[in-house]
Each structure stands twice: as C-alpha cells, then as structure tokens.
C-alpha cells in the first residue's frame, strides 16, 4: 500500500514569482498548442495531438513562439518541464474529447478544450519526466494490535454513522455552519466589477471559506475513520449510490456535505493499513426495512419513521441502529469477489429493494459521539434531538 503526504508550500516572494512564472509558461504552451490544433481542424486537416507530437512541434517552434514585444526569446527563463506539463494537459484533454465524441470514454460528455486565461486558471504545473523509486522497508512481518470484533456502520445525514453496538458519530454539518457567511461572501462577489481588484479580493474570500469548510469536513472524517479502523477488526458498510441520492433536490446539499464517498475511501485504505477487514454490503439489501430480530421485511418505511416497529415480533428500536445491526449481519455472510477494494457480501433471503436507497434526511448540527442505550437489540431506543 502506498500512502501519500500532502504538504502546503510557504514560498518566499521570490519563490512565489518563480512558481507563477512556471505556471504561466505551462499555460502559454497549452494555448499555443491548442491554437495550432484549432487552426488545422478549421482548415480540414487532421493534426497530430499526441503529447510526443505536440512536444516535438514546440521544440521546433519555441524560438518563434516565446518572443516578447522587444524581440527577446524568453522561454529559457523557465524549466522545460513547465512547457511539457502544459502540452501534456492539452494532449490529455484532446484525447478525452475525441474518445467522448466517439462514445469510447465512459461518464459525462467531454467538450473541446478551451483556452486558459490568466485570471480564471489556477496556477499549477507538474513534472512529466523523471525517475521515482520506492524504499523498501523491513521485510519482517509486523505484529498488529488486538482490536474489537465486528461492527456494522449505517451512514446517514441526521447522524453521520450509527454503529451496530449503539455508538453514534454525529454529523458535524460543516457546510451548514458556514453557509450564512458563504452566501454573504458570494453575494458580495457577484456585485464586484469583472476584472477588478476588489472582485479578485472577494473571490479569494469565497475560496477561503470553501477551503475552511472542506478542511473541517476532512478533519471530522479522518478522526471518525481512524477511530473505526483502529478499534474494530471487521467493519461492514453499505454500497450507497451517492450519485442517486444527490439527485434528490431536497437532500442533495446535505448528502454532499456528509461526503459518504470520502468516508468509504478513507475506510478502505485505513483498514488495509491497520489490518482490519472492510465488507461492502450490496446497495439493494433492505437494511432499514428488515427486522434485526426476526428478519421480517416491511413493504414500506417512510423517512419520517425514526423508530422501527416490527409487526411480526413487536421489536421497537431506533431506525438507524436496526439498519446497522442488519448491515453487520449481512457483512458476516459468505462473500463474493468484489471489483472494488474490500469485500462484497451476498444479500439475504429477504430479497432486494427496487429503488435507489435514500434513507438519509436533513437534521440539526451534531459533532460528537454517543451511544444508543446499553443493549441496542432489546431496548426501545430513540435518537434524542437537541
């Protein structure tokens, strides 16, 4: 397993000017190559737009392209990697456009690349060549610490995660906490004149608020997933259709703020790191509708019903806790080969649902961990709302 480290740079003024110059060089090479391709397409020709062809064309014409108004050739002021980075991005964009146009590329349709402006483009460039090596660690086997048993995790919006042992991880709802300030900043931005310094300042303020919300969300996610991966040896979660849930206009913002996909992504690599096992239960398994005591499946269960009441055995239990217990049981079932990381469990004998699962609902802000009673299987439990 490879683990990446993200580091924030704190350059000096001179270093910042140098970085911006290299980012501008990458943008210049991108626009120059795109102009050449568009000119050839308009003329009815079939230009070569592979990275190798674009870089060969650039090397042959850079003395005529990278020239200032005074006739000074300036391309030597930046590393060749900056120009190669821009050309590589152009080649990738053109390739994605061609594959999308032919129907070869999956996903949403990709449009033709557009010219990059200095004001609306994030300054960045990357190395396209170089050698990278891995340092091999101690080949001896590591002794992993002893952890708890198996647990099922039911993800939601009212509570971020409800565990089958009664533990509840509250949803911090970071976007909702900063939404008022964000709206004010966006409203102020919309009133500024295009291209003005005040608009750039207002845009930077909006970016800072969005970055703060994202960092708060990631911090909460990392704390929750690190605790889960280090506490339990077997973790079962549902394969939620996040894209389908986000299509619900009443829940889209809350679903995006909960970041279920990021929660699962972090669990996948952290369980691999700690030695725990992650089981992914089929998305059509009716965990909320199934009674965790007798196995009876309800025909309908509205989102407003926060307490599960079984018509067969009379079980009364918190809805999310009941689903978490069912997920834990389904995760312990015989497994099949999973195309994704982790394992996927078979659905039980009660069958599958026939619609996109949207068992999440908006709620007030949380942020702490609590436990639903001492015995989640027997007590009649309800989530307290403060």
Buried b (16+ CB within 10 A) or exposed e, 363-383: beebeebeebeeebeeeebeb
User: In Å, what is the CA distance from 256 to each residue of 94, 277, 300?
Assistant: 30, 26, 26
Stretch(es) of the chain classified as CATH 3.30.420: 148-173+215-371
Buried b (16+ CB within 10 A) or exposed e, 76-98: eebebbbbbbbbbbbbebbebbe
In sequence order, what are the beta bridge partners of 307?
A: 318
In the block, which residue shows the tokens 């312990």?
332
pLDDT averaged per 10 residues in sequence order, the chain, 386 residues = 72 88 92 94 90 93 90 90 93 93 86 85 53 44 66 88 90 89 94 92 93 92 92 90 78 84 91 89 86 86 82 86 90 55 42 35 44 42 34
Which one from 81, 88, 154, 257 is the annotated catalytic residue? 154
CATH topology of domain 148-173+215-371: Nucleotidyltransferase; domain 5 (3.30.420)
In the block, which residue shows the tokens 């918190």?
318
Which one from 88, 234, 257, 320 is the annotated catalytic residue? 320
User: pTM of the full predicted structure?
Assistant: 0.60
3 state DSSP class of 285: coil
Closest by CA position to 335, among listed 377, 260, 277: 277
Confirm whether 320 is a catalytic residue.
Answer: yes
Residue 246 confidence (pLDDT)? 78
3 state DSSP class of 318: strand
Confirm whether 10 is a catalytic residue.
Answer: no
Closest by CA position to 267, among listed 342, 329, 215, 338: 342
Which one from 81, 234, 238, 239 is the annotated catalytic residue? 238
């Amino acid at each position: 397993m490879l683990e990446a480290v993200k580091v924030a740079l704190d350059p000096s003024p001179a270093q910042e000017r140098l970085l911006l110059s290299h980012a501008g060089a990458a943008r210049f090479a991108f626009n120059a190559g795109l102009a050449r391709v568009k000119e050839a397409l308009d003329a009815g020709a079939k230009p070569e737009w592979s990275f190798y062809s674009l870089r060969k064309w650039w090397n042959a014409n850079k003395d005529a392209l990278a020239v200032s108004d005074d006739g000074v050739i300036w391309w030597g002021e930046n590393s060749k990697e900056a120009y190669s980075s821009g050309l590589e991005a152009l080649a990738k964009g053109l390739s994605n456009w061609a594959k999308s146009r032919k129907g070869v590329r999956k996903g949403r349709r990709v449009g033709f690349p557009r010219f990059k402006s200095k004001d609306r483009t994030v300054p960045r460039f990357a190395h396209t060549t170089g050698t990278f090596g891995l340092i091999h660690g101690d080949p001896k086997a590591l002794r992993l610490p002893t952890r708890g048993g198996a647990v099922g995790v039911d993800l939601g919006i009212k509570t971020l995660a409800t565990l089958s042992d009664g533990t509840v991880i509250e949803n911090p709802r970071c976007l909702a906490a900063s939404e008022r300030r964000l709206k004010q900043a966006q409203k102020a931005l919309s009133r500024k004149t295009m291209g003005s310094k005040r608009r750039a300042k207002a845009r930077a303020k909006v970016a800072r608020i969005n970055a703060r919300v994202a960092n708060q969300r990631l911090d909460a996610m990392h704390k929750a997933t690190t605790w889960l991966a280090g506490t339990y040896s077997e973790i079962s979660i549902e394969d939620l259709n996040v894209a389908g849930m986000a299509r619900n206009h009443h829940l889209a913002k809350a679903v995006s703020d909960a970041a279920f996909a990021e929660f699962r992504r972090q669990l996948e690599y952290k369980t691999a790191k700690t030695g725990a096992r992650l089981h992914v239960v089929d998305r059509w398994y009716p965990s909320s509708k199934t009674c965790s005591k007798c196995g009876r499946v309800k025909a309908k269960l509205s989102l407003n019903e926060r307490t599960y009441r079984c018509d067969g055995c009379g079980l009364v239990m918190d809805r999310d806790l009941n689903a978490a217990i069912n997920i834990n049981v389904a995760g312990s079932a015989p497994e099949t080969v999973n195309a994704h990381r982790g394992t996927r469990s078979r659905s039980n004998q009660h069958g599958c649902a026939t619609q996109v699962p949207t068992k999440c609902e908006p709620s007030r802000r949380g942020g702490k961990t609590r436990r639903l009673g001492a015995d989640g299987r027997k007590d009649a439990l309800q989530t307290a709302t403060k």
